[in-house]
């Protein structure tokens, strides 16, 4: 794919970690069930050709029961693409398997990405000194008095991101450029607590913190339009519009990476765009007012 074509599908200029090697997609799940390595390779190539800078690898529960297949998938993907891989597996032991299988010579020395750690689930970091990697840090939960708690305010999200990033830098010597803070982007249909607003406010707080310069902010956008009708009140693609509305507000403050489908097409929305205007109105509300604001997205 040409550079101009890539820019047309990603006009924000953000990094896209390809999400499609995941059993959450029905067609991919069938590839795993059939152990169809050729089809998995074709899917990897398609994502890279569409502009993915890295590929997430998640084979689901099979990782626990069929480690040989996990190894085969990693090797098969690296036989056809030269981008870094992001590993989404449930245990530190499986991260170790992925990292030892991963061939850095195939990526020009680029490190793999561990997806992911939290303050409460830090075990994968024990591998770092022997098997260096980049890391996704989930900022959606913190540890208070030894107990994991969900973050619901911008301040808690930003403080968790800061604490984890500086711990990675100071205790492990990890460059902040190797840290991806994963910020949860909630489905708006049930967001009566202002979680979308908290995430966007956290992006601004993190982006303005001089000590976190170089850190990457990222997230998956697939949930934002969950359970909503396909079309907005103006006839546009509602889910896609919401994804671009979020990015339009977040990218200027340093949000630079998406876990998503590379050919999805991401572009800034005009100030008078219907979905962007309605999303902004939604962000200013909570409770039942938020539910009414969501309905205005798809009801004229």
The CATH code of domain 15-297 reads 3.20.20.20
Distances in Å between the Cα of 237 and the Cα atoms of 7, 90, 156, 233, 262 are 20, 34, 33, 10, 17
- Burial-class residue 18 by CB neighbours within 10 Å (0-12, 13-18, 19+): buried
pLDDT of residue 8: 64
Which residues lie below 8 Å from residue 272, measured CB to CB, with a gap of 6+? none
pTM higher than 0.75: yes
How far is residue 56 from each of residues 5, 66, 167, 262, measured CA to CA in Å?
22, 18, 24, 12
According to DSSP, the residues that pair with 182 across neighbouring strands are: 138, 218
How confident is the prediction along the chain (300 residues), in pLDDT tens digits per residue?
Answer: 334 344 567 889 999 999 999 999 999 999 999 999 999 999 999 999 999 999 999 999 999 999 999 999 999 999 999 999 999 999 999 999 999 999 999 999 999 999 999 999 999 999 999 999 999 999 999 999 899 999 999 999 999 999 999 999 999 999 999 999 999 999 999 999 999 999 999 999 999 999 999 999 999 999 999 999 999 999 999 999 999 999 999 999 999 999 999 999 999 999 999 999 999 999 999 999 999 999 999 997
How many other β-carbons are positioned within 10 Å of the β-carbon of residue 145? 5
> Where do the structural domains in the chain lie, given as residue ranges?
15-297
What pLDDT is stored for residue 10 in this prediction? 87
The residues, any chain, with a CB within 8 Å of residue 158's CB and separated by 6 or more, are 139, 202, 205, 206, 209
**Burial of residue 124 (number of CB atoms within 10 Å: 0-12, 13-18, 19+):** buried
């Amino acid at each position: 794919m040409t550079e101009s074509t890539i820019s047309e599908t990603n006009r924000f200029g953000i990094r896209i970690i390809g999400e499609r090697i995941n059993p959450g997609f029905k067609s991919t799940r069938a590839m795993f069930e059939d152990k169809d390595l050729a089809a998995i390779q074709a899917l990897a190539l398609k994502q890279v050709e569409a502009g993915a800078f890295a590929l997430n690898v998640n084979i689901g529960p099979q990782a626990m029961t069929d480690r040989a297949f996990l190894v085969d998938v990693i090797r098969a993907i690296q036989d056809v693409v030269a981008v870094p891989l992001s590993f989404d597996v449930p245990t530190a032991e499986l991260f170790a398997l992925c990292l030892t299988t991963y061939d850095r010579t195939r990526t020009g020395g680029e490190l793999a990405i561990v997806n992911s750690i939290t303050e409460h689930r830090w075990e994968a970091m024990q591998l770092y000194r022997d098997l260096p990697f980049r890391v996704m840090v989930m900022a959606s939960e913190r540890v208070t008095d030894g107990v994991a708690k969900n973050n619901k305010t911008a301040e808690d999200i930003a403080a968790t991101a800061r604490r984890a990033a500086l711990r990675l830098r100071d205790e492990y010597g990890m460059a902040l450029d190797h840290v991806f803070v994963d910020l949860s982007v909630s489905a708006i249909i049930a967001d009566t607590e202002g979680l979308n607003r908290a995430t966007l406010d956290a992006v601004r707080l993190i982006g303005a913190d001089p000590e976190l310069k170089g850190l990457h902010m990222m997230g998956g956008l697939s949930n934002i339009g969950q359970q909503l009708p396909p079309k907005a009140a103006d006839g546009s693609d509602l889910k896609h519009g919401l994804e671009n509305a979020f990015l339009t507000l977040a990218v200027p403050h340093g949000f630079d990476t998406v876990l998503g489908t590379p050919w999805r097409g991401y572009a800034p929305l005009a100030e008078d765009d219907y979905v962007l205007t309605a999303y902004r109105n939604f962000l200013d509300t909570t409770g039942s007012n938020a539910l009414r604001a969501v309905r205005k997205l798809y009801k004229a």
